[in-house]
C-alpha cells in the first residue's frame, strides 16, 4: 500500500509545488496515512483544508484500504 500511496501523492505533488509547498509520506499503518506538509503548505492557514478535502479525498479514492489522513508536524 505504501507504494500506491506514494504514486498517488506524486500525481498531486505538481499542484502543491506550484503553490510553494510539498508533501512527505511518513508512514502507512492500518489504512491511516501520516503525512508531513512542507514549504508553504506547512505554514498555510488552509493546510487542513488541503489535507482533508484535497489529499485525503484523492488518496481514499485512488488507493484501496486508505481510510484516513493524519498530519505529522
Domain that holds residue 45: 2-71
- Residue 68: per-residue pLDDT: 93
Predicted confidence at residue 73, as pLDDT, reads: 83
The structure's pTM equals 0.88
How many structural domains compose the chain?
Answer: 1
pLDDT tens profile 10-66: 999 998 899 888 999 999 999 999 999 898 877 778 888 888 888 999 999 999 999
Q: Which of the pair, 73 or 70, is modelled with greater confidence?
A: 70
Q: Which residues pair with 34 in a beta bridge?
A: 27, 70
Any idea what the CATH number is for the domain that residue 50 is in? 3.30.300.130
**What are 6's three cell numbers?**
506514494
pLDDT at 5: 97
Range 64-69, long-range pairs (CB < 8 A, 24+ positions): 65/1, 65/31, 66/1, 66/5, 66/28, 66/31, 66/33, 67/31, 67/32, 68/31, 68/32, 68/33, 69/32, 69/33, 69/34, 69/35
Amino acid at each position: 500500500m505504501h507504494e500506491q500511496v506514494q504514486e498517488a501523492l506524486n500525481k498531486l505533488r505538481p499542484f502543491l509545488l506550484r503553490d510553494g509547498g510539498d508533501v512527505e509520506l511518513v508512514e502507512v499503518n492500518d489504512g491511516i496515512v501520516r503525512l508531513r506538509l512542507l514549504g508553504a503548505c506547512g505554514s498555510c492557514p488552509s493546510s487542513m483544508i488541503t489535507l482533508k478535502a484535497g489529499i485525503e479525498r484523492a488518496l481514499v479514492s485512488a488507493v484501496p484500504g486508505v481510510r484516513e489522513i493524519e498530519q505529522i508536524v
